[in-house]
Chain A
Amino acid sequence: MARLFIVEDNESLRFTYIKALEIYGHEIIGYATNGHDAIMMYKDFSYKPDVILLDHRMPIKNGIDVMKEILEMEKSTKFIFVSADIHIRDEALRLGAISFKEKPFSFEKLHNNIKKALSQKN
C-alpha cells in the first residue's frame, strides 16, 4: 500500500482521513496543518511519500502554492487534491495533480484513487 502525507487544516477531517486510510492499509508518514509546514516537512522527509493528499484552503499557504513549490523540488511527486473549492479543480489538474476529490467524497473512492496513483508510480 501507499506511503501517504496528509495536508489538511481541519482537525476532525485529518483524524478520520488518517484512521480510515490506515484501515485501508496505507501508511501515514506524516501530516501538516498548514501549507508552510507541509513544505518544511516535505523537505525533511528522507524517504518521500508516494502520494500527498492536499487540501487547498489552509492557513499561511494554499494547496496550489504548496503543490507548485514541491513540484519544483521533485517533479514526480503525486498529489491528490481533497478540497471543497471546486473552482480550483482545473488549475490543480493543469499544474500536475493526478486527481481532484471534491468534498464530500467517500474513502472507498479516495482509496481507489490512491491505488491508481500508486500504479502510475510503479
Chain B
Amino acid sequence: MTEKIERDLEGIINKSPAVVFLWRNSEGWPVEFVSKNVNQFGYTQDDFYSGKVIYEQIVHPDDLERVAEEVINNSNSDVSNFVQEYRIITKSGDIKWLDDRTWIRRDSKGNITHFQGIVLDITQRKYLEENLKKSEEKYRLISENANDLISVFDEKFNFEYVNENIHKSLMGYNKEDLIGKNGIILIHPDDQNLVLQSFKELINTGEGLVIARIRHKNGKYVWTETKGKTFYDTMGKRKMLLITRDITERKQSTQKLMESEEKYRIAYEHENFYKDLFTHDIKNILQGVLSALELFKLKMKSMNEEIKNQDLFNDIENQISRGSNLIKNVRKFSEFDKFNKKLGKVDLIKTIENAFENVKHYRKEKKINVTYDLFSESTIIYANNLLNDAVENILLNAIIHNENTIVEILIRTTAIKKDHDAFIKIEFIDNGRGIPKYKKELIFERGFNQEKETTGMGLGLSLVKIILKVYKAKICVEDKIPGDYTKGSNFIILFPEVSV
C-alpha cells in the first residue's frame, strides 16, 4: 500500500512542472533524489545519481555565488525554508530561470543534513517581467524627456504621476508638490468650471481636450492645451493620462494677430473714409465752384458784356481740372491692388491716339501738334485699360509744363534689342521747359511735386511708373537735346515685345 502510494505520488510529480530535489548538505550539493521530470532540463536522474552532474555545475555561473550565499545565510538563520530565483544551464546549453522553494532538514542535534526542494521553470514569467520592465523603462524615459507635461490622475483628479523634470522646468513644481494633490487647485479660477466639465467628458468618453490657464509655482498663470485619454491600470482602476502643452506663445501670437487685424480694419475704414471724402465731398465742392464760374460766364455772355479777364477764368477752370485729376489719381492709387491686373494684347498706337483726344483740350489757349514716327502702324503690347491712364499722364505732363504757344510732341516707336531681349521703345519728345538732371529720377517718385508755385503734377508720373511696372515696362526721362534740358524732354518707355 505504501509502495503504491509512493508510485502514485511519483507519477503525479513526474506529470507536474515541479521538479523535486533532495540535496545532501555537502560541497557541490550532491543530489540524492530527483524526480524523473528533471528530464525537462535535458538531464536524467542517473546524471545526478552517478555524480556525473553535480548540481552547482548547472547553476548559472553569474548566479552561483549569490545562490551559495543565500543558502549559507538561510542555513545559519532560524528559518526552516526559503525561496530563491536563479538560472540553470540545461543539458543542451539553454538557460532557464527557476523558482526554488527549499526546506532545511536537520538531525536531532540540529545539524543540517539535507535540503529538500521543489523547483519550477519560471523562464516564461521572467521573460515577460523583463520585457515589462524594459517597456516601462522606455516609456518612463520618453515621459521624462518629453517637452510636454505628462501626468496621470485618478478619477478624483488627484495627481498620481508627473514627469518631474518637465513639471519642474515648465511649472516650477517638484513631484512632492503634486503627487496626491488635486489638480483643480492649479487651474485659474475662471477656467475651473471648464476644466471640470472637460474632465467629466474625459471620463465619459475616454478622450478630451481643454485650453486653460495653469498656475506656475511662481504664481503666474500659463496658457496650456491639455489632451487626455483614459486607461485602466493593472488593478483594473480607471486612470486619466493628460498631456499638457504650454501655448502661451501661440496665445500671444493669436492676440497680436487679432490686434493687428483690428488695426488693419481701422486703417481700412479710415482709407475708405478719406477716399469717400475725396471722391464725393471734394468733387461736389469743385462742381459748385465750376458751376458758379460757368454760370457767371454764361450770364456775362447773355448780357453781351465782354469778360475782361478771360485768363483768370481759364486759370480757375484749369485748377479745378487739376483738382479733379488729382482726386481720380488718388482713387486709382488707393485701389491699385484691387484693379484687374489681367493683361491682354493692346494696340499701343490706338491707345495713344485715344489718350490724346482726351487731353488735347486741357489747355485751350495752346495749340498742340502731335506727330508720329512709327516703325509700324500697329504695335501690340501686353497691357490693360490702365495703359490709357499712363499715356494720358505723360501727354498731360508735356502739355502742362510747356510755356510755348504751340506745344510740339513727337511720338516715335522703334523695335530694339537689349541684353538679348526684344523691346518696343516708345518716345514722347516734347518742346516743354525740360527737367534738370537732379530731378529726372525724382519725378517718378510718389509725393514729388515738381514746382509748387506752378502746376504740380500730383500723383501723375508716380502712378505711371506703378502701372508700367505691372506690364514689366520701364520708364525714364532724357533731354530732347542731350546736355540741354531746357529744350524739352524725352520720356522713354520700353515695353517687352509681344511675340506674334
Q: Which residues of A contact B (CB under 8 A)?
A: 10, 12-13, 16-17, 19-20, 23-24, 57, 84-87, 102-108
Contact = CB atoms under 8 A, between A and B. Distances in A.
Contact of B284 (A10, A17, A86): A10
B291 A20 contact: yes
B284 A84 contact: yes
Given A84-B283, A104-B283, A104-B320, A12 B288 contact: yes
B287 A105 contact: yes
Q: Which 3 A-B pairs have the closest CB atoms?
A: A16-B291, A84-B283, A103-B287
Contacts, number: 60
A57 B280 contact: yes
Interface in B276-305: 279-281, 283-284, 286-292, 294-295, 298-299, 302
A84 B279 contact: yes
B298 A104 contact: no
Nearest to A18: B295
B286 A103 contact: yes
B287 A84 contact: yes
A70 B116 CA distance: 119
Contact of B324 (A12, A13, A104, A107): A104
A107 B294 contact: yes
A106 B290 contact: yes
Contacts of A106: 290, 294
B284 A13 contact: yes
Contacts of A107: 291, 294-295, 298
Contacts of A103: 283-284, 286-287
Contacts of A12: 288, 291-292
Contact of B280 (A20, A24, A85): A85
Given A16-B295, A57-B280, A85-B279, A23 B302 contact: yes
Nearest to A17: B291
Contacts of A84: 279-281, 283-284, 287
Q: Chain B: interface secondary structure?
A: helix
B255 to A, nearest CB: 36
A15 to B, nearest CB: 9
A10 B288 contact: yes
A86 B276 CA distance: 11
Given A12-B291, A106-B290, A107-B295, 8 more contacts: A13-B291, A16-B288, A20-B294, A23-B298, A57-B280, A84-B284, A85-B280, A105-B290
20 contacts: A12-B288, A12-B292, A13-B284, A16-B294, A19-B295, A20-B294, A20-B298, A24-B298, A57-B280, A84-B283, A84-B284, A85-B280, A86-B279, A103-B283, A104-B287, A104-B289, A104-B291, A106-B294, A107-B291, A108-B294
B77 to A, nearest CB: 104
A40 B302 CA distance: 35
Contacts of B298: 20, 23-24, 107
Contacts of B288: 10, 12-13, 16
Nearest to B317: A106
Contacts of B283: 84, 102-104
A23 B299 contact: yes
Max chain B Cβ within 10 angstroms of own Cβ: one of A16, A19, A104 = A104
Nearest to A101: B287
Nearest to A14: B291
A85 B281 CA distance: 10
Interface string B141-181: 00000000000000000000000000000000000000000
Contacts of B287: 13, 84, 103-105
